[in-house]
Amino acid sequence: MRSRPVGVVAVVLAAALLAACSQVPSDGPVRSTGSSVPSPSSAPFDFNPPGPRAGAGPAEIVTGFLTALEATPVSTRVASQYLTERAASAWRPQRRTLLYQGRDVQADPVQDSSSRTSVALRLTSPYALDGGGRWDGPARDVDADGLTLELVRDRGQWRLSSVPDAMVVPLSYFQDHYARYDLHFFDPSGRLLVPEPVYLPRGPQAATLLVDHLLDGPRRPDRGVERTYFPPRTRLAVSVPIRSDGVAEVPLSEEVDELEGADLDRALAQLVWTLRQLPDVTAVRVTAGGRPLRLTGTGPMLDVDSAASYSPFVSYAEDALFSLDGDTVQEIRPFTRPARTPLVKLPVALPGARLGVSLQATAAAVSDDDGLVRTYPAGSGVDSPAGAGGAITAGGSLRPLWDWSRRVWLVDPAGGPEAVRVSVGSRQTVLPVAGLPAGPLTAAALSRDGTRLVLALAPAGGRGARLYLTRVLRASDESGTPVRLSRARPIATQSPLKRVVDVAWRDGTQVAVLSRTSRTTSLVDLVSVDGESESGALSEPVDVLFDRAVSLTSSPGTRTLLVTTLGRRTFELSLQGRWVEDADLRDVARPVFVG
């Protein structure tokens, strides 16, 4: 089994989110930043930090060590020079990454005869990534206790003898040099890819790191939700170079030779979807022991679109919009003629009803204010008398949600541990939600791959709102039957949420949250489901909408995001974070995409 190169993978996965220039307060006990050193925080170019200066004191050594960790490209070569040889050989920075907004180095004066000392390092707003680049949230142990760095005199010079097994870098560095990527695994049935966010340095090392961490497989808590098709000991033989023609060369160890047929196709799909995020990659060539591997029916060059059938956004999902207007469910395609066609004719108009359309637009579910949810096949009542529809539940529900297995998800706005029901035809199953506090639910959204359910909770007392995420565990057979929900956990946001009106999936791991900030203004927050948005480091700018928004919808495959107001005006979010009115959707009531 190949050992992982500590110097590359460790540093690369450890150095991450820098958010503000390093700073050292000047009041209180003796504090020192050492001699001035160049700062890479604002420079997009390579940064080669200096090594330790002869005669440097303990505070200067610590400050220089921290600055060396900000090398660009990511490297621990210079940082190791601030350590004793023994400490450098024992240091494992790949195990964790600590990210901070500010730092405070506190060092007491030392006597010339002293051979040992320690320096206290306090970090402001510390966060952590695990060894695989996944977000671990606030580093509460570091926030509470700080870090103590031990130093000794080594050949007459102060050197660090004990440092944490972590990269310690500012959030601003992360913001400038890192990006959010997704590792792709499969749902238990093997039908759809499931993305998992990680944070890695931009640049030529990103391809190697992505494949390396993909081969590590899902984290233990996620193994009931997703699976990998790579054999357990599969490793990269060497790095992943990207050729000048955009082909990523992926040399794998011979364990992957165990795969064949559909299992091999799925493993290669995981690689293709993980590497296609890199802008320079146009195709992937995978080898095992020098022998090229290929998807069924293709050559050795795997185009980045060659595994589209496993798309986490569901390749067959309709891309049209749908709206419930009076007694008619309309299909809306602004660039075709006719632009609006009736899909379902209801027996009566249902003002205020909530609409959900199946992924292939073959059925619609309507939840009315009387607590009744009915499903209608597409075309019902369009060319014939209006059908009665099939009643699937009595009892309140937020907007009905559809998954790829053609099940309807109903969420009771009253909340509680039995708020989530899944329906197939007239048969309903309650999926209990543990860990969800008491309080009404104002919005819900199910990811296209069917593995994540987000709930917006209005706590008792009505002050603020919280988002909760639960993972969906499904049967491993072709049915994809939901078996249970994981314990709900809160999703951290950068600022407190106001009253949440609607939520929608921006992509596979990020949700858009519509809240009303006043009677005349609305706000959309883009929130990563792993809680990274709390740091604000990689947040996307979104302007305030100066109107009363009533609904939000998104198409995860294209990241199209629409907000509709009380006056039936629909706005689309531009790449610059501005709201642009779509004139073709004027007077459309609460449009929705499928799902």
Burial class (CB in 10 A: 0-12, 13-18, 19+), 453: buried
Cβ neighbours, 10 Å, residue 229? 20
| pLDDT (mean) for 101-125 | 91
pLDDT at 278 over 60: yes
157 lies in a domain?
Answer: yes
Whether 38 has a pLDDT exceeding 60, the answer reads no
- Only one residue has tokens 């700062």, namely 39
Determine, yes or no, domain membership for 244.
Answer: yes
- Cα(504)–Cα(500) distance, rounded to whole angstroms? 12
Model pLDDT, residue 170: 96
The average pLDDT across 107-124 equals 90
- The domain containing residue 41 runs over which residues? 6-175
* Residues 126 and 163 reside in one and the same domain: yes
- Confidence class of residue 324 from pLDDT cuts 50, 70 and 90? very high
The average pLDDT across 461-465 equals 73
pLDDT at 62 over 90: yes
Write out pLDDT tens, residues 477-496: 888 899 999 999 999 999 89
CA distances from 192 to 187, 314, 316, 404 (A): 6, 7, 12, 9
Stretch 75-101: mean pLDDT, rounded?
A: 95
**Residue-level pLDDT at 330:** 93
- Residue 557 included in any domain: no
14 pLDDT above the threshold of 50: no
Residue 115 pLDDT exceeds 50? yes
Q: pTM of the predicted model, to two decimals?
A: 0.87
Decide if 493 is inside a domain.
Answer: no
In degrees rounded to 5, what are phi and psi of residue 266?
Answer: -70, -40
Give the span between the Cα atoms of 216 and 226, in whole angstroms. 13
Please tell me the predicted confidence (pLDDT) of residue 203: 84
Q: Residue 4 pLDDT > 80, yes or no?
A: no
Question: What is the number of alpha carbons within 13 Å of residue 232 lying toward its C-beta?
Answer: 1
Predicted pLDDT of residue 41: 38
Q: Give me the chain's average pLDDT, please.
A: 87
232-258 mean pLDDT: 93
Residues 140 and 44 in one domain: yes
Q: Looking at the domain assignment, is residue 24 inside a domain? A: yes
pLDDT digits (tens, 9 = 90+) for 290-300: 889 988 878 88
Please report the pLDDT score of residue 268 as a whole number. 96
Q: Which of 126, 153, 175 is the last residue of a domain?
A: 175
Distance CA 228, CA 211 (A): 13
Pick the last residue of a domain from 291, 310, 329: 310
Q: How many CB atoms lie within 10 A of CB 6?
A: 15
Q: How far is the C-alpha of 140 from the C-alpha of 365, rounded, in Å? A: 45
Share of the chain above pLDDT 70, in %: 89
Judged against a pLDDT cut of 90, whether residue 198 lies above it is answered with yes
Q: Are residues 81 and 206 in the same domain?
A: no
What DSSP character marks residue 275? H
Q: Are 143 and 100 within one domain?
A: yes
Instruction: Grade residue 151 by pLDDT with cuts at 50, 70 and 90.
Output: very high
Q: What is the mean pLDDT of residues 184-189?
A: 95
How many structural domains comprise the chain? 2
Arithmetic mean of pLDDT, 347-369:
91
Statement: residue 542 has pLDDT above 70: yes
Q: What is the pLDDT of residue 384?
A: 52
**Final residue before a domain boundary, out of 122, 148, 175:** 175
